[in-house]
Amino acid sequence: MNIIDGKKISSEIRAEAAKKASLLAGRGVIPGLAVILVGDNPASISYVTAKEKACAEVGIRSFPVRLPREASQEELLGHISAFNSNPDVHGILVQLPLPEHIDESAVISAISPEKDVDGFHPANVGKMLLGEDAPLPCTPHGIIELLVRCGVETSGKHAVVIGRSNIVGKPVACLLMRRKPGPNATVTVCHTGTKNLAEYTRCADIVIAAAGRPGTVTADMIKDGAVVIDVGVNRIPDQSRKSGFRLVGDVDFQSVAPKASLITPVPGGVGPMTIAMLMDNTVKSAERAARLN
């Protein structure tokens, strides 16, 4: 079977986090995660709900905040400031995207770097780039964990990343090129400025697709035996579903799967890993705080 079971691997990581959380609880420290949602974007609501559910399972106390779409930036910053100084809160997550009138980078920068469990704060991004210890962004870190736990040899291999966003493309490229004991891969980053995407993907041992466009990767673009990680989450209208839509990735799964040595499905691949790494980051932050006390 060449389908990577992200749900299974993520549940292993969550079980490990739960074990650490219960050790902390034995010492009187309950890991705490503030989960802030502004507005009522249906996808964001479902992500936040899934994150809070995972918190409950792992033994993390969640501190939910729901603000209306029209909430001001000052109000949001006020909540962040309160959580920054609350010792019961070890992680602060602001669900993105934010409404247009709110400056996303000002909000991310307002989160204390020690509590930045999304790994988006510029100080933590800088540390990641320098190879210093810092909370790693959850989706890219989850992708690396999938590769490691599936025993994929990455050292000396050619990885092609499709996408250059700050939350997936750039950080996953950065992590993939980390020297041993990191992945130690040779990395090519493709984006909307890339002239012939297939020329690059056909030479790839590992393809990471994070374009946010269905059908970006088709069978003719993949060499036999490549490892294909599909990060894309795209909602396609589907009247046969109760929800009225179904989720597909960026990879044409039906045609690519027979050629790939390993491939992630959507859903059930990278998505669950993002939540697992968030749990891991929150528990690690609580462990750090407990050590300092």
Query: Any contact of residue 4 with ligand NAD (CB under 6 A)?
Result: no
List the alpha helices (DSSP H) in the chain: 6-26, 42-58, 73-84, 104-110, 122-130, 138-149, 169-176, 197-201, 253-256, 270-292
Residue nearest to ligand NAD (CB): 165
DSSP 86-103: -TT--EEEEPSSPPTTS-
Q: Does 119 bind ligand NAD (CB under 6 A)?
A: no
Cα–Cα dist 65/197, whole Å: 42
User: Does 252 qualify as catalytic in the annotation?
Assistant: no
Question: How many residues form the binding site for ligand NAD (CB under 6 A)?
Answer: 25
d(CA 124, CA 131): 10
- Asked if residues 91 and 61 have their Cβ atoms less than 8 Å apart, the reply is no
Q: Residue 124, interface with ligand NAD (CB under 6 A)?
A: no
- Catalytic status, residue 51: yes
CA distances from 96 to 120, 147, 201, 252, 277 (A): 11, 26, 29, 27, 17
Residue 178 sits in the site that holds ligand NAD (CB under 6 A): no
Please select the residue that binds ligand NAD; options are 163, 171, 183, 265, rule is CB under 6 A: 163
Residues between 65 and 104 that touch ligand NAD (CB under 6 A):
none
Q: Which residue stretch of 9-17, 82-90, 231-239, 281-289 sits at the interface with ligand NAD (rule: CB under 6 A)?
A: 231-239
- Residue 95 annotated among the catalytic residues of the structure: yes
Binding site for ligand NAD (CB under 6 A): 139, 162-165, 167-169, 190-192, 194, 197, 210-213, 216, 231-234, 270-271, 274
The residues annotated with a catalytic role in the active site are 51, 95, 118
